[in-house]
A and B are shown apart, each in its own frame.
Chain A
């Protein structure tokens, strides 16, 4: 899916909508299991991913700058993913940006999600 020029929030990414609807957010999970950490364990890895993308993708053909990433995150966090808290909205917005820019194909993402889950549950 490449939707250059189209506001990212006008595009539906079913796979991500389903994840958002299932709402396994950290606040819900932490409450359920009595965990006190304020942020999910994957947060620093997400930060690392954002920094790595900011460093490598701004100047290449993709032209995905730090500002683009943050603007799209802000737009998506008050529209498509308004019900998600931070940092889940940051993660889903990044995925959404990469899918709508055609960097990652949605079907490919879905297959990978299944594969990763199968691996973690093995």
Chain B
């Protein structure tokens, strides 16, 4: 604590220009918080995993996100050599944006087998990824999948009616653009390299990376100047649940 902070702590009633705002917190212990701890403790006691293993995977989960994937595509748009590398050796290209797919165990995560391919969109072909079986996703480079990606509704429908599902995300593709749905699995992960949009001439890597959102890398959106956020979709229950 600095001298300044120390004094501040003892002078709560004066006006000053260095407001310290404390973000609000949930000041209540919830059943779910308690359940997560209880479950974890029991798993460790029963030897399902160790506390060290849990910490390793939790740290991994805390540091992953879509930033390296956006950076990879932005760099590929600017550098033809890097683009070639990304499309021929996606693991090597990942390393150049700080992602080692062997982390955190030396063999990748349990559900992220070390086989990764980047799918290039062209004016004639649009790619979109799914995991029809469960929710396989290129987590090391793209972070955790969004909730809708995990739902049976998306998984089942995107492979059957891709154009209809894409239109629900606001992406309507011309009929002469072929849509390819790539099904991820435990042995292979994919990510989309979208086309660089018009209106981005002269942009830096940082500027380009900002518009390459997670949704663009899944293939349910196209990079658009001025758009830096993902689409928010309401997760709807399946009309015909799997029980039927």
Question: Contact at A71–B134, with CB atoms within 8 Å?
Answer: yes
Question: Contact at A95–B49, with CB atoms within 8 Å?
Answer: no
Q: How far is the CB of A88 from chain B (nearest CB, A)?
A: 5
Within 8 A of A (CB), among B51-95: 53-62
A residues less than 8 Å from B37 (CB atoms): 42, 116, 120
Say which residue of A45, A75, A86, A115 sits within 8 Å of B36 (CB atoms).
Answer: A45
Interface of A is mostly: helix
| Chain B residue with the shortest CB-CB distance to A52 | B49
Say which residue of A41, A49, A88 sits within 8 Å of B40 (CB atoms).
Answer: A49
Does A56 belong to the interface (CB within 8 Å)? yes
Q: How many A-B residue pairs have CB under 8 A?
A: 163
Question: Contact at A57–B26, with CB atoms within 8 Å?
Answer: no
Pick out which of these stretches binds chain A: B10-18, B144-152, B161-169: B144-152
Q: How far is the CA of A19 from the CA of B144 in the complex (A)?
A: 25
Question: Contact at B58–A55, with CB atoms within 8 Å?
Answer: no
Say which residue of A22, A29, A49, A109 sits within 8 Å of B54 (CB atoms).
Answer: A49
Q: How far is the CB of B51 from chain A (nearest CB, A)?
A: 10
B residues less than 8 Å from A24 (CB atoms): 28, 30-32
A residues less than 8 Å from B105 (CB atoms): 55
| Chain A residue with the shortest CB-CB distance to B155 | A74
Question: Contact at A91–B31, with CB atoms within 8 Å?
Answer: no
Chain B interface size, under 10 / 10 to 19 / 20 to 34 / 35 or more: 35 or more
| Chain B residue with the shortest CB-CB distance to A60 | B48
Question: Contact at A88–B32, with CB atoms within 8 Å?
Answer: yes
Q: How far is the CB of A91 from chain B (nearest CB, A)?
A: 6
With A49-B54, A51-B60 as contacts: A112 and B41 at CB distance below 8 Å: yes
Q: Which residues of A contact B (CB under 8 A)?
A: 9, 16, 19, 22, 24-26, 29-30, 32-36, 40-49, 51-58, 66-67, 70-71, 74-75, 78-79, 82, 86-88, 91-92, 94-95, 98, 103-104, 108-109, 112-113, 115-117, 120-121
Can you list the 6 inter-chain pairs with the closest CB atoms, starting with the nearest? A48-B58, A52-B49, A47-B61, A54-B110, A51-B57, A70-B134
Contacts A33-B26, A52-B57, A55-B105 aside, 16 further interface pairs with beta carbons under 8 A come to A19-B31, A24-B28, A33-B24, A33-B28, A48-B59, A49-B43, A49-B58, A53-B43, A53-B48, A66-B111, A70-B134, A82-B237, A86-B235, A104-B46, A116-B34, A120-B33
